[in-house]
Chains A and B, each alone.
Chain A
Amino acid sequence: QSALTQPRSVSGSPGQSVTISCTGTSSDVGGSDYVSWYQQYPGKAPKLVVYDVIKRPSGVPDRFSGSKSGNTASLTISGLQAEDEADYFCCSYTGIYTVFGGGTKLTVL
């Protein structure tokens, strides 16, 4: 049950696009249709922004999009806004257990 690998930080200017990667193995990300992403502000609970690799919950802007290639999943945020500055965590269900990534801090410059 090793944690998925995410970059510790990424940054971008308002209006730009940023992509956060999440690397696992064929036992988790690579072999799972259940990859999700969570946004977390300091002192707040996580919020689901992408599930089932590519789907968005109601109310989440379409600026947020998910994808997967092999053992790596990605979250892309386009048209970056100041309010997007937060921590982002990926997550994968393996069929037996659930594993999270270490988290990525997104800074909007």
Chain B
Amino acid sequence: EVQLVESGGVLVQPGRSLRVSCAASGFTFEDYGMHWVRQAPGKGLEWVAGINWNGGSIGYADSVRGRFTISRDNAQKSLYLQMNSLRVEDTALYYCAKPPGISAAGYYFDNWGQGTLVTVSS
């Protein structure tokens, strides 16, 4: 059974940095690209970033490009999102999501974690 478990979400002040993580199990992690999708409280879903199987191809949403960095460690079966210069509008539940193949393409997401809550507030 595929399991994705996010962690690292906390309350942080605007302008600060934070790294959230996603631990994967139940599938061959290095055979798949991975993505981050976020959902602000009471709002819709927003794609944040995607990475291919070996980190060689990466894509970002315009709203986070230049501030966020997605990365992965296949040996640890983990996905990361480094978030710098955080803004109030980055407050959201951050989901780790698995696409169907090895590329960074977000064709669709067939498995999701339960999310980790990042709150940006002074």
Query: How many B residues, CB 8 Å from partner?
Result: 24
* Pairwise interchain contact B114-A45, C-beta atoms closer than 8 A: yes
Chain A residues, Cβ within 8 Å of B59: 96-97
A96 to B107, CA, bound (A): 10
A52 to B107, CA, bound (A): 8
Which B residues fall within an 8 A CB radius of A?
35, 37, 43-47, 50, 59, 61-63, 95, 100, 105-110, 112-115
A contact residues vs B (CB 8 Å cutoff): 1, 3, 34, 36, 38, 45-48, 51-52, 57, 89, 91, 93, 95-103
SS class, residues of chain B in contact with chain A: loop
Closest residue on chain B to residue A87 by CB atoms: B44
Q: A1-B61, A1-B62, A45-B95 are in contact. Are A100 and B110 (CB under 8 A)?
A: no
